[in-house]
């Protein structure tokens, strides 16, 4: 009954907020040293203070300059580049100006993102491979294990994970696990209070982000949708997968459950640790960025204009037995981490997506389960199509959210009309959240192309400026195309009857919720 009341209340109330704009005008009590970009990792905290982000005022517009570049670096020529919620397409140049170079300069100058260039990435595209690798890395932990997920399900994988975490806690490893209150209560196998009590008795520190409490409506907006694991500050796992056994066994409703995740090593792991530490502090008040969890961070800051480095690594990744990056650029991948927070950095994620789309010169490939889009991203895709960029969007033919497929179909019809190649994947449910641009860069993370992710939730994505990683994703994309059905403008009326078309048009007015 509680869940039914919650669903009815949210459906009635939350859509009213879907079009009111960005909530970034609201200030929040957050530690000042944690209020920079996710790349600007903080100093240790003593007390929180109220701050507001200089990048995030809803009335702000940003103008920057993107230098003409070669693959070796930036040169002196300047090309105007406008970075607002909608970003003007970069002007063509007579010299080499590649999309990855444009994006790096735009991210650094306008979003405060710091790129690190000593990273390795292993793409994980099956649930079994993810959990085998992650469990193996957890077994090797000696100091701390930090987990932040939208939900941990009460199923075979979820309980096996916490059994392993309990073993590590008994060995003296600090274990912290955070999950979203709505993500837990809204799934069909939630963790109950008896589970949480058992985990805590085993020595695991467990925090529930923003628990759902009466009247529930005030908890429906800003949910923690991230998926982060950091082990000893040396190894990270991030992407689109939660913790659930249907990533291995599928579900009867739609069969196989598809997604993309990453195993990360290098300085990029520090960014994910800082994001977890901020969220953990916000919920529990415990400060983690100190001499125990980040010994090299004390007294330093992670600023792009200095040589100082924040590396919360208490042991080298070389001590772990991991999947291992075997590509030509292993240990040299350039990665910038973009996070979205409701009150500081609330526009960063959609600005990042728009910047990447606007920088595209030849090809954009997108896989996303709920591409209902927001205005700025929709306009960026239209601009790309108008300037002759090939746009391929892969959508799952099956969905785990009612009504959303009808809204997605309407959105895809409009993009197909403008020349986008829309592909409906028939292999189960494709939950991946990735984008590739020009074969040069890609983004992988928790962000859906919808208003929930862009306007409300806590999200995090890695933007990887690396050809081998991007091309590996493209190979997966091309393989998946063999199991796709093209969707053209005329297919909309043919495949969707009046009732579904009405649902799509009506509920698209409330896309802030769906």
pLDDT in tens, 77-87: 322 233 344 44
Per the domain annotation, does 47 fall within a domain?
no
Same-domain check for residues 309 and 340: no
Share of the chain above pLDDT 70, in %: 75
- What is the residue whose two structure tokens read 């096996």? 160
Same-domain check for residues 351 and 286: no
CB 485 within 8 A of CB 412: no
Note the pLDDT tens digit of each residue in 190-240: 999 999 999 999 999 999 998 877 776 666 778 999 999 999 999 999 999
Same-domain check for residues 411 and 435: yes
pLDDT band at 188 (very low <50, low <70, confident <90, very high): confident
Domain boundary among 319, 345, 364: 319
Comparing C-alpha atoms, which of 460, 459, 454 is closest to residue 513? Answer: 454
Same-domain check for residues 216 and 262: yes
For residues 211 and 50, which has the higher predicted lDDT (pLDDT)?
Answer: 211
d(CA 273, CA 131): 20
Tally of CA atoms within 13 A in the half-sphere of 217 that contains its CB: 11
Per the domain annotation, does 265 fall within a domain?
yes
Domain containing residue 422: CATH number: 3.30.870.10
What dihedral angle (degrees, nearest 10) is formed by the CA atoms of 16, 22, 27, 32? 140
Share of the chain above pLDDT 90, in %: 63
Same-domain check for residues 302 and 383: no
For residues 172 and 51, which has the higher predicted lDDT (pLDDT)?
Answer: 172
Say whether pLDDT at 30 is over 60: no
Same-domain check for residues 345 and 409: yes
What's the pTM? 0.80
Per the domain annotation, does 66 fall within a domain?
no
pLDDT recorded at residue 96 = 61
Mean pLDDT of 265-291: 87
Per the domain annotation, does 27 fall within a domain?
no
d(CA 377, CA 382): 9
Per the domain annotation, does 436 fall within a domain?
yes
Domain boundary among 272, 287, 319: 319
Q: Which domain holds residue 230?
A: 122-319
Mean pLDDT of 113-142: 96
Identify the DSSP state of 224: B
Comparing C-alpha atoms, which of 150, 391, 148 is closest to residue 280? Answer: 148
Say whether pLDDT at 69 is over 50: no
Domain boundary among 263, 295, 319: 319
Say whether pLDDT at 481 is over 90: yes
Indicate the number of domains in the chain.
2
Same-domain check for residues 337 and 465: yes
Say whether pLDDT at 273 is over 70: yes
CA distances from 272 to 227, 278, 292, 337, 492 (A): 10, 10, 17, 8, 41
Note the pLDDT tens digit of each residue in 347-403: 999 999 999 999 999 999 999 999 999 999 999 999 999 999 999 999 999 988 889
Same-domain check for residues 207 and 289: yes
Comparing C-alpha atoms, which of 77, 62, 61, 65 is closest to residue 105? Answer: 65
Per the domain annotation, does 194 fall within a domain?
yes
CA distances from 245 to 79, 128, 153, 174, 357 (A): 49, 9, 8, 25, 34
Per the domain annotation, does 255 fall within a domain?
yes
d(CA 361, CA 268): 27
Phi-psi region of 335 (alpha: psi -120 to 50; beta: other; left: phi over 0): beta
Per the domain annotation, does 429 fall within a domain?
yes
Same-domain check for residues 468 and 392: yes
For residues 473 and 295, which has the higher predicted lDDT (pLDDT)?
Answer: 473
Sign of the C-alpha dihedral, residues 178, 181, 182, 185? positive
Comparing C-alpha atoms, which of 263, 267, 128, 147 is closest to residue 204? Answer: 147
d(CA 110, CA 102): 12
Say whether pLDDT at 333 is over 60: yes
Sign of the C-alpha dihedral, residues 97, 101, 106, 108? negative
Helix axes 375-386, 404-417, angle to 10 degrees: 30
Identify the DSSP state of 321: -
C-alpha 333: how far from its chain's center? 19
Identify the DSSP state of 315: S
Same-domain check for residues 286 and 346: no
Same-domain check for residues 338 and 301: no
pLDDT recorded at residue 97 = 76
Same-domain check for residues 400 and 386: yes
Sign of the C-alpha dihedral, residues 438, 443, 444, 450? negative
Tokens of 407: 């809204």
Helix boundaries (H) for 252-374: 268-284, 348-359
Mean pLDDT of 140-145: 96
Comparing C-alpha atoms, which of 227, 229, 226 is closest to residue 147? Answer: 229
pLDDT band at 292 (very low <50, low <70, confident <90, very high): low
Q: Which residues pair with 81 in a beta bridge?
A: 64
pLDDT recorded at residue 349 = 96
SS3 state at 152: strand
pLDDT band at 465 (very low <50, low <70, confident <90, very high): very high
């Amino acid at each position: 009954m509680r869940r039914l009341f919650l669903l009815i209340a949210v459906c009635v109330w939350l859509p009213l907020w879907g079009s009111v704009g960005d909530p970034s005008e609201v200030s929040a009590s957050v530690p000042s040293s944690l209020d920079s970009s996710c790349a600007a990792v903080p100093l240790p905290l003593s007390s929180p203070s109220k701050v507001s982000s200089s990048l995030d005022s809803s009335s702000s517009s940003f103008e920057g300059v993107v230098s003409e570049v070669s693959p070796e670096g930036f040169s002196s020529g300047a090309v105007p580049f406008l970075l607002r919620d909608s970003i003007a397409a970069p002007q063509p140049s007579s010299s080499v100006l590649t999309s990855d170079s444009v994006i790096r300069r735009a991210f650094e100058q306008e979003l405060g993102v710091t790129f690190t260039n000593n990273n390795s990435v292993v793409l994980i595209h099956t649930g079994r491979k993810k959990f085998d690798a992650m469990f193996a890395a957890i077994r090797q932990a000696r100091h701390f294990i930090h987990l932040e997920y939208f939900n941990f399900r009460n199923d075979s994988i979820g309980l096996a994970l916490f059994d392993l975490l309990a073993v590590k806690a008994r060995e003296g490893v600090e274990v912290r696990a955070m999950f979203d209150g709505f993500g837990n209560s809204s799934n069909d196998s939630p963790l109950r209070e008896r589970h949480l009590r058992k985990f805590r008795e085993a020595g695991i520190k467990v925090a529930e982000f923003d628990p759902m409490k009466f009247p529930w409506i005030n908890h429906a907006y800003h949910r923690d949708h991230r998926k982060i694991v950091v082990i000893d500050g040396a190894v990270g796992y991030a992407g689109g997968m939660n913790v659930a056994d249907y990533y291995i066994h599928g579900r009867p409703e739609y069969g196989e459950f598809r997604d993309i995740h990453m195993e990360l090593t290098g300085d990029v792991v520090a960014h994910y640790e800082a994001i977890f530490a901020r969220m953990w502090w916000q919920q529990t008040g415990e400060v983690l960025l100190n001499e125990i969890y980040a010994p090299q961070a004390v007294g330093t800051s992670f600023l792009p204009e200095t040589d100082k480095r924040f590396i919360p690594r208490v042991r080298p990744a070389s001590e772990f037995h991991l999947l291992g990056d075997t590509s030509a650029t292993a240990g040299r991948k350039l990665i910038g981490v973009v996070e979205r927070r409701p009150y500081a950095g609330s526009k960063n994620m959609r600005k990042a997506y728009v910047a990447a789309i606007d920088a595209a010169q030849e090809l954009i490939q997108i896989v996303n389960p709920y591409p209902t889009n927001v205005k700025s991203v929709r306009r960026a895709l239209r601009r790309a199509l108008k300037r002759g960029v090939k746009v391929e969007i892969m959508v799952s033919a099956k969905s785990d959210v009612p009504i959303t497929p009808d809204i997605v179909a309407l959105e895809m019809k409009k993009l197909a009309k403008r020349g986008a190649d829309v592909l409906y994947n028939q292999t189960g449910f494709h939950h991946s959240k990735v984008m590739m641009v020009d074969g040069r860069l890609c983004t992988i993370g928790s962000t859906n192309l919808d208003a929930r992710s862009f306007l409300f939730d806590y999200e995090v994505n890695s933007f990887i400026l690396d050809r081998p990683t991007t091309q590996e994703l493209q190979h997966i994309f091309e393989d998946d195309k063999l199991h796709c059905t093209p969707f053209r403008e005329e297919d909309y009326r043919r495949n969707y009857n009046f009732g579904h078309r009405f649902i799509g048009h009506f509920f698209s007015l409330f896309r802030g919720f769906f």
